[in-house]
Amino acid sequence: MAAKQAVIAKRGDHEVSKVVLEKFAEGRAVQLLHIGPYATEPASVARMRAMMDASKLVPRGYHHEIYLGDPRRTKPDRLKTILRQPVAAA
Protein backbone atom coordinates (compact mmCIF):
# COMPACT_ATOMS: atom_id res chain seq x y z
CA MET A 1 0.00 0.00 0.00
CA ALA A 2 1.79 3.09 -1.29
CA ALA A 3 0.02 5.57 1.02
CA LYS A 4 1.05 3.62 4.10
CA GLN A 5 4.68 3.53 2.99
CA ALA A 6 4.61 7.28 2.26
CA VAL A 7 3.35 8.05 5.78
CA ILE A 8 5.98 5.79 7.35
CA ALA A 9 8.70 7.46 5.28
CA LYS A 10 7.53 10.96 6.21
CA ARG A 11 6.53 10.57 9.86
CA GLY A 12 7.87 7.24 11.06
CA ASP A 13 5.92 4.10 11.78
CA HIS A 14 3.90 5.16 14.87
CA GLU A 15 1.97 1.89 14.46
CA VAL A 16 1.09 2.72 10.84
CA SER A 17 2.35 -0.74 9.89
CA LYS A 18 -0.73 -2.16 11.67
CA VAL A 19 -3.09 -0.41 9.26
CA VAL A 20 -4.78 -2.75 6.78
CA LEU A 21 -6.98 -2.15 3.75
CA GLU A 22 -10.22 -4.05 3.98
CA LYS A 23 -12.93 -4.16 1.33
CA PHE A 24 -16.51 -5.00 2.15
CA ALA A 25 -19.87 -4.83 0.39
CA GLU A 26 -22.16 -3.03 2.75
CA GLY A 27 -25.32 -2.61 0.72
CA ARG A 28 -28.11 -0.34 1.93
CA ALA A 29 -27.18 1.92 4.86
CA VAL A 30 -28.36 4.86 6.92
CA GLN A 31 -25.75 7.60 7.08
CA LEU A 32 -25.46 10.90 8.93
CA LEU A 33 -22.81 13.63 9.03
CA HIS A 34 -22.20 14.39 12.71
CA ILE A 35 -20.61 17.77 13.41
CA GLY A 36 -19.31 18.27 16.92
CA PRO A 37 -17.43 16.46 19.65
CA TYR A 38 -17.36 12.68 19.78
CA ALA A 39 -19.14 12.84 23.15
CA THR A 40 -22.33 14.11 21.45
CA GLU A 41 -22.50 11.32 18.87
CA PRO A 42 -25.09 9.29 20.84
CA ALA A 43 -27.73 11.96 20.06
CA SER A 44 -26.94 11.63 16.34
CA VAL A 45 -27.12 7.83 16.55
CA ALA A 46 -30.53 8.21 18.25
CA ARG A 47 -31.68 10.36 15.30
CA MET A 48 -30.54 7.63 12.93
CA ARG A 49 -32.43 5.02 14.97
CA ALA A 50 -35.61 7.11 14.89
CA MET A 51 -35.36 7.45 11.12
CA MET A 52 -34.76 3.71 10.78
CA ASP A 53 -37.83 2.97 12.92
CA ALA A 54 -39.97 5.39 10.90
CA SER A 55 -38.76 3.78 7.67
CA LYS A 56 -39.24 0.23 8.98
CA LEU A 57 -35.54 -0.59 8.76
CA VAL A 58 -33.46 -2.69 11.13
CA PRO A 59 -29.70 -2.68 11.73
CA ARG A 60 -27.72 -5.23 9.73
CA GLY A 61 -24.02 -5.52 10.32
CA TYR A 62 -21.74 -3.21 12.24
CA HIS A 63 -22.15 0.51 12.86
CA HIS A 64 -19.00 2.32 11.80
CA GLU A 65 -17.60 5.81 11.65
CA ILE A 66 -15.48 7.72 9.15
CA TYR A 67 -13.48 10.51 10.76
CA LEU A 68 -13.05 13.55 8.52
CA GLY A 69 -11.03 15.72 10.88
CA ASP A 70 -7.92 15.45 12.99
CA PRO A 71 -8.88 15.83 16.67
CA ARG A 72 -5.36 17.08 17.40
CA ARG A 73 -5.86 20.07 15.09
CA THR A 74 -9.62 20.65 14.98
CA LYS A 75 -11.72 22.21 17.71
CA PRO A 76 -14.18 19.63 19.13
CA ASP A 77 -17.24 21.61 18.00
CA ARG A 78 -15.94 21.52 14.40
CA LEU A 79 -15.08 17.81 14.14
CA LYS A 80 -16.90 15.99 11.35
CA THR A 81 -17.71 12.28 11.47
CA ILE A 82 -19.78 10.20 9.07
CA LEU A 83 -21.87 7.72 11.06
CA ARG A 84 -23.00 4.67 9.05
CA GLN A 85 -25.29 1.79 9.88
CA PRO A 86 -26.03 -0.96 7.34
CA VAL A 87 -29.76 -1.74 7.32
CA ALA A 88 -32.33 -4.18 5.99
CA ALA A 89 -36.11 -4.05 5.70
CA ALA A 90 -37.89 -5.00 8.93
Contact criterion met (CB below 8 Å) for 39 and 48: no
Which pLDDT does position 20 carry in this prediction? Answer: 85
Is the pLDDT at 18 greater than 90? The verdict is no
The CATH number that domain 22-89 falls under is 3.20.80.10
CA distances from 17 to 2, 14, 43, 62, 71 (A): 12, 8, 34, 24, 21
Q: What is the pLDDT of residues 33-70, one digit of tens each?
A: 999 999 999 999 999 999 999 999 999 999 999 999 89
Domain boundaries, the chain: 22-89
